[in-house]
Amino acid sequence: MQHLAYIFDFDGTLVDSMPYVAMGVKRFLDNRGVKYPKNIMEIVTPLGYPASAAYYNEHFGLSVTGEEYFDEVQNLIFPYYQNEIPLKKGAYEYLKTLKARGASLSVLTASPLRLVKPCFERLGILDWFDQLWCCDDFGRIKSDPEIYLEAAKRLSVEPTDIAFFDDSFHSLAAAKKAGLYTVGIYDEVAKAFVNDVKASSNVYHENFLSAKDI
């Protein structure tokens, strides 16, 4: 089943960055002397930055805004995007195949594009993408189906003509509700939510090596 347009999440989907994000989150908490549980990433990964900050304030006695938390973690991990973070298994070959086929490739991420662009440039894939979007470009979050409907309008295609790849069940569920064909991608940091990801996906893959027919 081939589609006209392909939209990819960034962290944990195209690039294997979530271990670095986890490191940044834990360093943020360590810097404040917080004693957090071993499963802290399972707790905060589905929440997003604003709700995670609220969780820290309630459970750890912090006083931090979502924006402060977001900015600090992103600054901590920025050098790794520039110099180290790799693509997920099979992603390069898959993207190259799609590009050769003439498909439209886009990214839709909650991360700032200042992380995406240098990472993609280093990996040699920046020019393959027609659109690089962050949530701020839409004024919506990825758990809102409207963001995917607006993306379809901007791409001048029907939602049903788009294949959407993500490792987050919240985003996949919203995209599926909007009519997109949803592809769940496994990520080690989110392994506790594999069943939720599968339930929110039209199809699920461990990596991009098995996604060649989409």
Residue 47 has pLDDT above 90, yes or no: no
- Tens digit of pLDDT for each residue in 119-169? 999 999 999 999 999 999 999 999 999 999 999 999 999 999 999 999 999
End-to-end CA distance of the chain: 5
Give the pLDDT of residue 46: 81
Residue 1 has pLDDT above 80, yes or no: no
- Tens digit of pLDDT for each residue in 48-80? 899 999 999 999 999 999 999 999 999 999 999
Give the pLDDT of residue 145: 98
Give the pLDDT of residue 189: 86
Closest CA to 5 of 87, 91, 79, 108: 108
This prediction has a pTM of 0.93
Q: Cα separation of 142 and 65, whole Å?
A: 20
User: Average model confidence (pLDDT) for the chain?
Assistant: 96
Domain boundaries, the chain: 5-16+87-210, 18-83
Q: Which residue has the tokens 């919506």?
A: 140
- Tens digit of pLDDT for each residue in 176-212? 999 999 999 999 988 889 999 999 999 999 999 988 7
Q: Cα separation of 86 and 135, whole Å?
A: 23
Q: Tell me whether domains 5-16+87-210 and 18-83 share a fold.
A: no
Give the pLDDT of residue 76: 97
Q: Cα separation of 97 and 95, whole Å?
A: 5
Give the pLDDT of residue 212: 78
Q: Which CATH superfamily is domain 5-16+87-210 in?
A: HAD superfamily/HAD-like (3.40.50.1000)
Please return the burial class of 152, using the count of CB atoms within 10 Å of its CB with bins 0-12, 13-18 and 19+.
buried
Fold of 18-83: DNA polymerase; domain 1 (1.10.150)
